[in-house]
């Protein structure tokens, strides 16, 4: 009995909070580079017993491919199967579904980035908060008032507080104490087009990042930005995909210099931002977009950067699986180039991974591993490389040589 107990203690000791040291993520003081994925609808599927099994199936497939982090929604505001049916009013069965998602993720050793609301109308988001405000008698004229109106900000803070203090009914762990949660994301793709100066969104980020940390100082916090450059860095605007990107109220460098923000987030959608016709220009943009943000994270932010969404839609003109594989390989290669230099490129998350039998949820970007052998092989190979790097970055080289740094050790043994 003692041996079994000791083994369990050791396993729990290994499952510690992800932390940040400089421009790297670490677990137990060892580097933790991310190969991950998005599946935003896990809570909704878990809320229905007829589809709950798909959550387990997805985590099993992802884990088998070596994927270690999943980004998903910890919100559904006033919509079908809503988590939050009205301000501070929750459907307990849906909350139990989120409990299940978190407990199931741990079974498969997958950590979660949990997003707390949406810029877009899907699953409610800021538009639903404004609807609630109007129903309460507030005089609101724009969805962007979500970022500035005191009452709407209080609604959002109440949601944050409720989620972070939630006690999981499967594990009895409070969310804010659960190492399964990699990070909190303030919002999916925040934009405030009514104020292109960026001041309104910057003020909101400053307030909310500190608020999250006041409740939960243990977990990492990120904003959820797409990565567009704004007025504070006019020399970087040339890397934006188009001129409109500078007008959406976000400001990559300035936003990420905010107290309480631990790492940078960037999305990559050449097919949405540049052209819906597949071309080599998509690959060129992806590489320069990534390299610019990695450089900024090293030079100005001194933090890790995660490319938290990237992919290509099967609905694009000229799409084929070969192009998708080339795009994914390009993203992985750019990250590995950073990793080997000790840079800020800390990982990426595919948009998005689906289990079998969920095609009706496909937005064009879905990857079903069982139906995509070439893509699955690329993902698994990258997972192996990342796992090798994480294991080799120990305080002492397992081959017994005396290298100056773990990175030199990795480079020295890179052929093994």
Domain boundaries, the chain: 20-411
CATH code for 20-411? 3.20.20.80
pLDDT-derived band at 327, boundaries 50, 70, 90: very high
Indicate which residues carry an active-site annotation.
189, 309
- Structural contact between residues 281 and 275, judged by C-beta atoms closer than 8 angstroms: yes
Residue 13: pLDDT band (50, 70, 90) is low
CA distances (Å), origin 14, targets 33, 351, 387: 16, 28, 15
- pLDDT tens readout for residues 245-261: 999 999 999 999 999 99
Of 403 and 28, more confident: 28
What pLDDT is stored for residue 406 in this prediction?
A: 52
Q: Residue 25: what are its φ and ψ, rounded to 5°?
A: -85, 145
Please tell me the predicted confidence (pLDDT) of residue 35.
96
Check: pTM over 0.85? Answer yes or no.
yes
d(CA 277, CA 413): 41
Measure CA of the first residue to CA of the last residue in the chain; give whole Å: 39
Q: Between these two residues, 341 and 238, which has the higher pLDDT value?
A: 238
Omega before 352 within 30 of 0, i.e. cis:
yes
Q: What does the mean pLDDT of the chain come to?
A: 92
């Amino acid at each position: 009995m003692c041996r079994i107990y000791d083994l369990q203690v050791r396993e729990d000791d290994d499952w510690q909070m992800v932390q940040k040291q400089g421009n790297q993520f670490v677990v137990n003081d060892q580097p933790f580079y991310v190969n991950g994925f998005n599946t935003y609808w896990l809570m909704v599927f878990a809320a229905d017993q007829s589809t709950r099994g798909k959550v387990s199936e997805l985590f099993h497939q992802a884990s088998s491919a070596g994927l270690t982090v999943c980004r998903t929604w910890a919100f559904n505001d006033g919509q079908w199967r809503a988590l939050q049916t009205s301000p501070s009013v929750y459907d307990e069965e849906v909350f139990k579904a989120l409990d299940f998602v978190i407990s199931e993720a741990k079974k498969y050793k997958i950590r979660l980035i949990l997003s707390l609301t949406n810029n877009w109308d899907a699953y409610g988001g800021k538009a639903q908060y404004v609807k609630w405000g109007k129903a309460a008698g507030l005089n609101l004229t724009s969805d962007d008032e979500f970022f500035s109106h005191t009452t709407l900000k209080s609604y959002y803070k109440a949601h944050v507080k409720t989620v972070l203090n939630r006690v999981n009914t499967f594990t009895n762990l409070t969310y804010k104490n659960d190492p399964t949660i990699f990070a909190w994301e303030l919002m999916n793709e925040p934009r405030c087009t009514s104020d292109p100066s960026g001041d309104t969104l910057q003020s909101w980020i400053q307030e909310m990042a500190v608020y999250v940390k006041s409740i939960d100082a243990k977990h990492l916090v990120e904003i959820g930005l797409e990565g567009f450059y704004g007025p504070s860095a006019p020399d970087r605007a040339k890397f934006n995909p188009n001129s409109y990107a500078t007008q959406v109220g976000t400001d990559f460098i300035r936003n990420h210099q905010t107290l309480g923000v631990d790492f940078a987030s960037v999305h990559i959608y050449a097919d949405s931002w540049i052209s819906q016709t597949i071309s080599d220009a998509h690959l060129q943009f992806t590489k320069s977009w990534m390299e610019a943000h990695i450089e900024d994270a090293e030079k100005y932010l001194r933090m890790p950067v995660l490319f938290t969404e990237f992919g290509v839609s099967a609905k694009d003109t000229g799409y084929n699986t070969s192009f998708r594989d080339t795009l994914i390989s390009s993203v992985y290669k750019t990250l590995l180039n950073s990793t080997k230099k000790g840079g800020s490129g800390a990982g990426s998350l595919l948009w998005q991974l689906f289990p079998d039998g969920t095609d009706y949820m496909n937005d064009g970007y879905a990857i079903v591993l069982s139906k995509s052998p070439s893509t699955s092989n690329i993902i698994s190979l990258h997972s192996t490389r990342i796992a090798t790097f994480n294991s080799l970055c120990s305080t002492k080289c397992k081959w017994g040589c005396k290298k100056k740094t773990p990175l030199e050790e990795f480079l020295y043994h890179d052929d093994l």
